[in-house]
Structures are given as C-alpha cells and as structure tokens.
Amino acid sequence: MMTQWQALEVLARKRGGQVVITTMSAAGIWPKLSDSPLDFHYIPSAMGHATDVGLGLALAHPKRGVIVLNGDGCMLMNLGGLVTLAHQNANVVLIILDNGLYEVTGGQPTAGTGRVHFADLSRAAGIRRIFTFETLESWQAGVDEVLSDPGPAVVWLKVEGRLGQKTPQPPKLMRQQIERLQKALGIG
C-alpha cells in the first residue's frame, strides 16, 4: 500500500497541463507538491462535490483535461457523480484515494469500508476506463496509461489512512484561487 503523499507525488510529476481539483485531505498535501495556477483547492462544503466542479471545468474546456482528487468518503457522498460523468463523456480523470476513513473528521471508518468496490460502481455507472492500483510500484507503472487518453476515467488508489488530520485550509483564499484559475484558463 502507498501513502497519499506518495500517490500524489507520482501524479504531480506526470499531470502535465491538466487542471487539478483537490478537496479534503488531498488539499492538505497537493499544495506542497504543486503550485500551478491550474490547481484549485475546493474546501468549503466540498465533501462530495469536487467531481461536479471538475466536470463543469471539463465541459467548459474539453481539450484541457481535469484531474479530480477525491477521497473515498467524498465519493460515497456523491455516487451520482459517476453516472453524470459517464453520461457527459467529459475529459475528467477522477482519482479516488481510498483509505477507508473519514480522515479529516476524526478517522471514522467510511460506510462500507472494505466492502465498497469503486471499480465495480464506476463500471455500473457507465465509465469505461477504470484503473485500480494498490501499490506504489503499480501506480508508478500505470500513471502514464491513465493520463494518455482523455477521460472519463476513474482511478481507484488504495492508500494508507492518517488519523488526527484536520480539514485543511486552502493555501489561498477561494476568491484568489478562482481568479488565478480563470486567468490560467483565459477567462474572466
């Protein structure tokens, strides 16, 4: 199994010019690995909605591509996002960081920990490109294939949980992040 840091470090090296949306625990790690104007740390009331934000950006900028970093708890709060993502056929790579915990709210086990199979849920929703990685070595070997074709794609990464985490604060105020992203995308 890999840590979230290790998983995101691999992605930071390979992400290219894609927009990256982070939320919850990933939002506490990603700014230490990347400070691109194409990074957007979606924190306020975000649990479950990063996929929606990523989908909207992908529909507005289909050639750019969007990577959404979602936790397993966040994904469970909005499984309908998988169906919508498949229906829209948008250029989104949804990465589900599965540690089996609601990490930032105290480390409670997620509903269905050890039983929920995100690859099967994604397939049933209509997603065709689905990847599962349980080790750092397999993720390092497979990341290029994941990012080589446009989405929609779902990547299920099994990562270690970290207890005692708190909801991260965005590195920049939300308004500043929005303005920075708009400028990078040539809008606003």
* Residue 80, C-beta contacts closer than 8 angstroms, at least 6 positions apart: none
pLDDT in tens, 77-129: 889 999 999 999 999 999 999 988 777 666 677 888 888 999 999 999 999 99
Average pLDDT of span 53-70: 93
DSSP collapsed to 3 states, 15-52: CCCCEEEECHHHHHHHHHHCCCCCEEECCCCCCCCHHH
Q: What percent of the chain clears pLDDT 70, i.e. is strictly above it?
A: 89
Which residue would you say has higher pLDDT here, 72 or 163? 72
42 neighbors 87 (Cβ within 8 angstroms): no
In the chain the domains, ranked by start, together with CATH numbers, are 4-185 (3.40.50.970)
pLDDT computed for residue 155 by the predictor = 98
Mean of per-residue pLDDT scores for the chain: 87
- β-pair type (92-98, 153-158): parallel
Cα separation, 137 vs 152, whole angstroms: 24
The single residue listed with the structure tokens 């939002």 is: 27
Whether 43 has a pLDDT exceeding 80, the answer reads no
